[in-house]
Amino acid sequence: MPNPTLDALRRYAVARTLFTPTTLPAAIRRLGFVQADPIRAPARAQDLTLRHRVKDYRAGDLESRYTRLAVEEDCLVNYGFLPREHLALMHPREAVRAWDAEMQRKAEEVLAFVRERGSVHPREVDAHFAHGRMKNYWGGSGNASTHLLDGMHYRGLLRVKRRESGTRIYEAVTHPPVDDSPAERARRAAALVDLVVRKYAPLPAASLTYLIRLLGYGAPHLAAQTQAALRMAREELASCRIDGTTWYWPADESPASRRHAPDDSLRLLAPFDPVVWDRRRFELLWGWTYKFEAYTPAPKRQFGYYALPMLWHDRVIGWANVTTRDGRLQPVLGYVDRAPAGAAFRAALDDELHRLNEFLAPR
């Protein structure tokens, strides 16, 4: 097969993840992982991602159906939702920083409390143990009980049973024992590398390296094995070199396939959608720099608080910040160059805003 062009890689990047909408379980299984984010502008990132890939999806469907799905909230390259079978690749997880004796004692007490109750809201743990406050990752003050529950969840002592108004309700969990032989560790690491490559391909070489480094969040105890799996993957993945950049993708896929022809739809994507998640790849494919600015001071923002990248055909041509007022969408649009002229673009934009409005409407 001849090397694909950058145009072919762009079409392939869009088409392989924006598949024909299917059921919610099938979409999560095909994506492999859906990144979560608590900001709702106009909906949470996981819902904004799934609405393009699930038939008749509405905001909040994942949360309301979570207990009936073979899906878990957990960590991969970041925090989100993934098929339950993937947990065996990462658990039992060993945190990079071990707890001291005092924190271990508190965790054991909380675990016994959770087992006795069956499931707990964080405020129940806080009311019972009064752990107080502590400095959080960002330098501010946070609830110590919430921090402890997060750590117990990360270490596999707890799982998220459900959510109540967005708050995680925990229950105790015991992961089955796993074969920890060198061969099995290598197999699990290779499976994790394959999982993230299939989610985010095609990947420039630097992004592939960075992505495997991020697996240290989901499986820090397999760091050596994932690095070995990365070296092997570079030999086994298909690749090409365009304008000085080496690109990688699964060997059983073809970026040059005619099946990757773009459709006529316009889509407003979540900032963490697989199409746009890799900012390095984004700039190589679309020729401009997109930034997520929710945590940027307002006067310094270029795109807005929660800019949704605007994909039309196979081009990301701008962005939209969308709010609602009195039940009506209030989109503020921006463009890299200028708004495309013609009725086709206006119709595609109207259709997308109509779909977004339906997605936000309660069932």
Look over the chain and give the mean of its residue pLDDT values, rounded to a whole number. 93
The pLDDT assigned to 138 comes to 40
In the chain, the amino acid numbered 264 is D
Confidence (pLDDT) at 131: 64
DSSP lists the bridge partners of residue 331 as 322
pLDDT tens sequence across 277-293 = 999 999 999 999 999 99
pLDDT in tens, 54-86: 999 999 999 999 999 999 999 999 999 999 999
Look up residue 321 and give its amino acid. Answer: N
DSSP helix/strand/coil, 316: strand
In terms of pLDDT, which residue wins out, 203 or 176?
A: 203
Higher pLDDT, 333 or 165: 333
Q: Give yes or no for residue 257 having a pLDDT over 90.
A: no
Q: For position 28, what pLDDT does the model report?
A: 98
Mean per-residue pLDDT, 344-351:
97
Mean pLDDT of 107-133: 90
DSSP string, 45-79: HHHHHHTTTBTT--TTHHHHHGGGSSEEEEESSSE
Shortest CA distance to 143 belongs to which of 131, 153, 160? 131
∠ Cα 29 235 251 (to 5°): 45
pLDDT at 135: 54
Beta bridge partners of 333: 320
d(CA 278, CA 276): 6
What letter represents residue 201's amino acid? Answer: A
Rounded to whole angstroms, the maximal C-alpha distance in the chain is 67
- At 137 the pLDDT is 46
pLDDT at 133: 57
Q: Is the pLDDT of residue 141 over 50?
A: no
Mean pLDDT of the region 242-248: 96
Residue 258 — pLDDT band, cuts 50, 70, 90?
confident
What does the block give as tokens for 154?
A: 């990360």
The tokens describing 296, both together, are 């940027």
Counting residues of the chain whose pLDDT is more than 70, the rounded percentage is 96
pLDDT tens digits along 348-362 = 999 999 999 999 998
pLDDT score recorded for residue 253: 94
Yes or no: say if 66 and 162 are a contact pair by the CB < 8 Å rule: yes
Architecture per CATH, domain 101-172, reads as: Orthogonal Bundle (1.10)
Q: What is the pLDDT at residue 1?
A: 63
Confidence (pLDDT) at 327: 81
Domain spans in the chain, listed from the N-terminal domain onward: 101-172, 262-360
Is there a contact between 283 and 37 (Cβ–Cβ < 8 Å)? no
Q: How many CA atoms lie within 13 Å of 284's alpha carbon, on the beta-carbon side?
A: 25
Q: In this structure, what token pair is assigned to residue 67?
A: 């207990």
Confidence (pLDDT) at 233: 95
| CB within 8 Å of 100: residues ≥ 6 apart | none
**195: burial class by Cβ within 10 Å (0-12, 13-18, 19+)?**
buried
102-120 mean pLDDT: 95
How far does the chain reach from its first CA to its final CA, in angstroms? 48
User: Is 90 exceeded by the pLDDT of residue 99?
Assistant: yes
